[in-house]
């Protein structure tokens, strides 16, 4: 099992990717972007049946998925105790005896994602682990607070130790086609993040069309987004396969033109291990193995980890356990 994992999925990059410093807004490129919705949806329907992995290989892919999870709590009743338990789960995402049998000791999640008020607690709880803390910011989830307050919120989260900032764009700029305003907003937020990496949340379920999703993805990358992310997890429709296909093809086009690799984060609605496998296979097919590392791909999830842990226990023991045996905290 150890050799299967190491040889197929766990080859970490030897060099740090250049950050996306962005480029001037190219409206000709933006307006030329189209999205063939029917073709994208047909392709998306075929994805769950295109790749099938079993036994040790499936377990290896699921371990890879764990290493890509932004383990998240974004509830109004979050407390310091809950966040500390979440961080303990990030450090030890699967029971130690299961990981030992898989030969996967030392596995952690990709990051922990919390509201600003919980950043300091999370940073302290993760001290020495190497796991970064991501903070949702800029008036999450609606993004409708005054702009100067959204910028200030980013600075406050960076100041207390957030290494990644998940910002939300103003949907109205996309819906009205005001691409200059979206570019200027994203650029200002990128600058406010300083050395912290910025993930631009598009809230794709509220953008109306896949063409809008594609154009918004491109504009955010031009303005310097290190990641583009589907959703806040609070919209009626969050991550979907057609939206993912649209966004990662925008990432591919941007990389082909600029040479810069931008990350991708689907969030909301991904709760089953089998869904994670579909997303991983799509990333491998569309963008290549390089996008199977946590600096370029994350899952925004919480309940996903519990289902993956159940599948790994089944792989080791041959029996499914109750979900409560794998609680987050």
Burial class of 205 by CB neighbour count within 10 A (0 to 12, 13 to 18, 19+): buried
Three-state secondary structure call for residue 320 = coil
Say which residues have a Cβ less than 8 Å from residue 148's Cβ, sequence separation at least 6: none
What does the alpha-carbon distance between residue 119 and residue 123 come to, in Å, rounded to a whole number? 6
What does the alpha-carbon distance between residue 217 and residue 278 come to, in Å, rounded to a whole number? 21
Element (H, E) at 90: helix 80-91
Catalytic annotation, pick one of 70, 166, 226, 307 = 166
Catalytic annotation, pick one of 64, 89, 199, 265 = 265
Residue count of the chain, please give it: 329
- The verdict on whether 159 is a catalytic residue reads no
Secondary structure letter of residue 205 according to DSSP: G
Question: Are 123 and 130 within 8 A, CB to CB?
Answer: no
- The verdict on whether 265 is a catalytic residue reads yes
- The verdict on whether 199 is a catalytic residue reads no
Per the omega criterion (within 30 degrees of 0), is the bond before 141 cis? yes
Catalytic annotation, pick one of 229, 261, 275, 307 = 229
Residues annotated as catalytic are: 166, 229, 265
């Amino acid at each position: 099992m150890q050799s299967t994992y190491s040889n197929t999925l766990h080859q970490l990059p030897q060099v740090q990717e250049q950050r996306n410093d962005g480029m001037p807004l190219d409206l000709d490129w933006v307006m030329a972007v189209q999205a063939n919705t029917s073709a994208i949806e047909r392709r998306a329907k075929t994805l769950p049946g295109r790749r099938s992995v079993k036994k040790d290989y499936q377990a290896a892919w699921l371990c890879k998925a764990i290493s890509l999870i932004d383990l998240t709590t974004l509830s109004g009743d979050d407390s310091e105790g809950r966040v500390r338990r979440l961080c303990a789960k990030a450090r030890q995402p699967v029971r130690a005896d299961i990981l030992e049998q898989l030969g996967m000791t030392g596995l952690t999640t990709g990051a922990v994602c919390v509201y600003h008020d919980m950043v300091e607690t999370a940073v302290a709880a993760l001290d020495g682990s190497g796991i970064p803390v991501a903070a949702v910011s800029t008036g999450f989830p609606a993004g409708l607070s005054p702009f100067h307050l959204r910028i200030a919120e980013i600075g406050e989260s960076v100041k207390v130790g957030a290494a990644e900032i998940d910002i939300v764009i103003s949907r109205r700029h996309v819906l009205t086609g005001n691409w200059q305003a979206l570019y200027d907003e994203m650029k200002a937020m990128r600058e406010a993040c300083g050395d912290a990496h910025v993930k631009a949340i598009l809230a794709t379920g509220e953008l109306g069309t896949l063409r809008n999703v594609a154009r918004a993805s491109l504009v955010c990358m031009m303005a310097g987004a290190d990641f583009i992310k589907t959703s806040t997890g609070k919209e009626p429709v969050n991550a979907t396969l057609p939206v993912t296909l649209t966004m990662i093809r925008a990432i591919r086009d941007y990389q082909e033109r600029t040479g810069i690799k931008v990350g991708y984060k689907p969030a909301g609605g991904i709760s089953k291990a089998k869904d994670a496998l579909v997303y991983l296979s799509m990333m491998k097919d569309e963008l290549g193995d390089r996008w199977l590392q946590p600096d370029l791909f994350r899952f925004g999830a919480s309940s996903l980890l519990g289902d993956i842990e159940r599948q790994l226990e089944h792989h080791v023991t041959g029996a499914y356990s109750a979900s409560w045996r794998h609680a987050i905290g």
